[in-house]
């Protein structure tokens, strides 16, 4: 990767100017495909409920409703992984940042690309079955690349959220549009990159736009019709909170509460343009009928003077009732965040050790701060936080006009990258970035749906960047092992019952590691950045590992357009 020497704000701006393909909305057939129809049985709710036990399929973006990214197949294991080889490579039509998590149903794979394309492939051969190319005008307001993180299937429909903030249901066999609905107005800064979560005939979707002065939300739509069922605003009308002065770890954040209260009296509650996007999928607790998700940064990112208060529920874990969307509980990691160290990696449901040593239902989240946070699922309260997985310096120095140095940089820690867990070992696996940055603040008025950072995050050109893969015991908070990487890590990770974890790097390396020790056991060079979460499945009696290799806009890794599947001899 070239040195990350430009301002992060500049990179965001470049991303916003990218214009997506504007060709007609259509389904394209690969000319060498014998049939454009995918032979797939309807996916039932019962199948989704038990996805964590299903070795043949990969039914949800993060493997299952708990989002553990732990696959139960063990054919590829510590002894056999040395024989892993390329089964097939599929090249998409879009050579751009790739963050898709492949979904596999009955031997049919669904992948997405930047600019909201969907491909259905034969999971055994990589042969294209159909291709949906979403029609949209050039989109001028989106953050961090024109990415798409995937789809989900329920019944005979494939659900997609698009860059221009629409929710689309496709026929799983043909790719034809069944229904489409508007989620929000992209001209006001709203966009979609996350994959939908479908449960109990509801399609759950959040929104991007925390860099554009939106008011964030999580919504449920009827899976059959696309009609809105409920809406939860991630920023309530009373967003001030309790005037917290310390972060989740107990460190002082140097807030000027008196100045904030004076601004509140002058301008009122800033909730309407306060940001709070939802980058990643909610976890679903089927036993309690609750969902758990994390909320992103306030707007503008760096200029806290114009948004007094704690800025609820930004930078928070939030739980809702699945049926009604009603608030249950929350925990805020950083009140009044002026560093963009928000909560973006998805929440994960596991059993954890309580403070008194009992095993209880828990929820964990890996933050940009470099900590893994462990919560009681009952009330969202914090039980513990892990040792820091990345260097931390000058926390929480306030941004200045000249630029103040603080670690971690604005990308983390753990970015949007989903973590994986191994319930038998009680370990969580996370990939991290180390990007030293200067935080510079400037006052700017709301620009009506345009980029609104309130300053810039500038990578320090002469300081080395790096990354790591870290295994954390979530019952103790201790790091068990860590593997350093030469470049920052972004994309995601997969754990398997074969005692392995798989993840990729921006230099094209895709590797398998011993999940207990971190020892590298196998690797492959994909030719472009491997910055997407891997998946696993079985077809024809063989286990496959699959990952996208398309690079990444946000960290400027080499672009590509490959979906690569691996299997054993």
Give the residue numbers annotated as catalytic, written as ranges.
340
Rounded CA gap, 569 and 566, in Å? Answer: 10
For 264, which DSSP code?
A: H
| Distance set, CA 479 to CA 68, 82, 520 (Å) | 18, 27, 18
In a 13 Å sphere around the CA of 382, the CA atoms on its Cβ side amount to 18
In a 13 Å sphere around the CA of 437, the CA atoms on its Cβ side amount to 31
Rounded CA gap, 146 and 139, in Å? Answer: 9
DSSP 117-130: EEEEEETTT--EEE
> Do β-strands 108-113 and 103-105 pair in parallel, antiparallel, or remain unpaired?
antiparallel
Neighbour-count burial for 352-377, b at 16+ CB within 10 Å, e otherwise: bbeeeeeeebbbbbbbbbbbbbbbbb
3-state helix, strand, coil in the chain (%, to 5): 5, 35, 55
Phi and psi angles of residue 14, each rounded to the nearest 5 degrees, phi first: -60, -40
> Do β-strands 283-285 and 290-294 pair in parallel, antiparallel, or remain unpaired?
antiparallel
For 224, which DSSP code?
A: T
Name the nearest CA neighbour of 526 among 90, 3, 181.
90
Helices of type H across 187-334: 257-267
Rounded CA gap, 204 and 191, in Å? Answer: 15
């Amino acid at each position: 990767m070239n040195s990350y020497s430009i301002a992060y704000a500049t990179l965001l701006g470049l991303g916003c100017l990218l214009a997506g393909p504007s060709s007609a909305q259509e389904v394209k057939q690969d000319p060498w495909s014998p049939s454009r129809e995918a032979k797939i049985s309807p996916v039932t709710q019962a199948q989704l409920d038990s996805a964590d036990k299903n070795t043949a399929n990969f039914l949800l973006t993060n493997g299952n409703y708990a989002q553990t990214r732990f696959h139960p197949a063990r054919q590829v294991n510590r002894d056999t992984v040395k024989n892993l080889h390329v089964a097939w490579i599929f090249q998409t039509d879009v050579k751009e940042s790739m963050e898709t998590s492949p979904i596999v149903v009955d031997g049919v794979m669904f992948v997405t690309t930047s600019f909201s394309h969907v491909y259905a492939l034969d999971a055994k051969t990589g042969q294209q079955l159909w291709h949906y190319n979403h029609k949209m005008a050039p989109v001028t307001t989106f953050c961090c690349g024109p990415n798409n993180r995937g789809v989900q299937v329920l019944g005979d429909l494939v659900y997609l959220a698009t860059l221009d903030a629409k929710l689309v249901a496709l026929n799983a066999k043909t790719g034809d549009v069944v229904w489409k609905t508007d989620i929000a107005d992209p001209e006001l800064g709203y966009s979609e990159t996350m994959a939908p979560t479908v449960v109990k005939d509801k399609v759950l979707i959040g929104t991007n736009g925390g860099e554009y002065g939106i008011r964030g939300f999580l919504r449920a739509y009827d899976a059959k019709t696309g009609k809105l069922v409920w809406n939860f605003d991630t920023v309530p009308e009373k967003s001030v909170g309790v005037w917290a002065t310390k972060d989740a770890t107990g460190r002082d954040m140097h807030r000027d509460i008196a100045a904030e209260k004076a601004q509140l009296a002058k301008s009122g509650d800033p909730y309407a343009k306060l940001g709070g996007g939802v980058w990643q999928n909610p976890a679903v607790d089927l036993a309690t009928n609750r969902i758990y998700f994390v909320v992103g940064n306030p707007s503008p990112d760096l200029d806290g003077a114009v948004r007094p208060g704690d800025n609820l529920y930004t930078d928070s874990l939030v739980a809702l009732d699945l049926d009604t969307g009603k608030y249950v509980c929350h925990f805020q990691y950083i009140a009044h965040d002026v560093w963009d160290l928000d909560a973006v990696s998805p929440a994960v449901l596991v059993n954890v050790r309580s403070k008194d040593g009992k095993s209880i239902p828990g929820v964990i989240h890996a933050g940009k701060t470099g900590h893994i946070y462990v919560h009681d699922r009952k009330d969202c309260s914090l039980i513990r936080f892990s040792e820091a997985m990345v260097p931390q310096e000058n926390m929480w120095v306030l941004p200045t006009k000249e630029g103040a140095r603080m670690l971690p940089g604005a990308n983390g820690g753990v970015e949007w990258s989903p973590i994986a867990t191994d319930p038998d070992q009680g370990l969580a696996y996370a990939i991290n970035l180390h990007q030293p940055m200067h935080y510079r603040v400037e006052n700017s008025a709301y620009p009506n749906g345009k980029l609104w950072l309130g300053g810039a995050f500038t990578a320090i050109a002469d300081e080395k960047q790096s990354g790591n893969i870290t295994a954390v015991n979530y019952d103790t908070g201790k790091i068990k092992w860590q593997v350093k990487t030469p470049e920052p890590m972004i994309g995601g990770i997969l754990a398997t019952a074969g005692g392995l974890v798989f993840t990729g790097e921006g230099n094209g390396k895709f590797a398998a590691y011993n999940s207990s020790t971190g020892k590298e056991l196998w690797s492959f060079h994909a030719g472009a950045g491997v910055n997407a979460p891997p998946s696993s499945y079985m077809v024809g009696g063989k286990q496959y590992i699959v990952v996208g290799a398309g690079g990444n806009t946000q960290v400027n890794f080499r672009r590509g357009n490959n979906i690569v599947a691996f299997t054993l001899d």
